[in-house]
Amino acid sequence: MKICIACGMPMNKKEDYAMGDESKNYCKYCMREDGTMQSYEEKLKGMTEFIVRTQGIDRNVANKTARKMMDKLPAWEDLK
């Protein structure tokens, strides 16, 4: 099992990978329509919206939470 480098999601099945390609190191939720990985800004927006939607917390708190989560992931190491 791999972990998505951009969001930390476990990728257990082929369908979890970007475009179903198990050689990719990011998941289907972290890809753009063309199969490339989203930028930091795109992923941050998506994760923030996901946290607001699933946990019902304030957008500013959700954004800070998403940033803290993303800061620990390999895809964003160069941004520190």
**pLDDT tens across 14-56, in order?**
999 999 999 999 999 999 999 999 999 999 999 999 999 999 9
For 20, left (φ over 0), alpha (ψ -120 to 50), or beta? left
CA distances from 68 to 19, 62, 64, 73 (A): 27, 10, 6, 9
Check pLDDT > 90 for residue 1.
no
At residue 80, does pLDDT exceed 90?
A: no
Q: Is the full-model pTM beyond 0.95? A: no
The DSSP H or E segment spanning 67 is helix 59-71
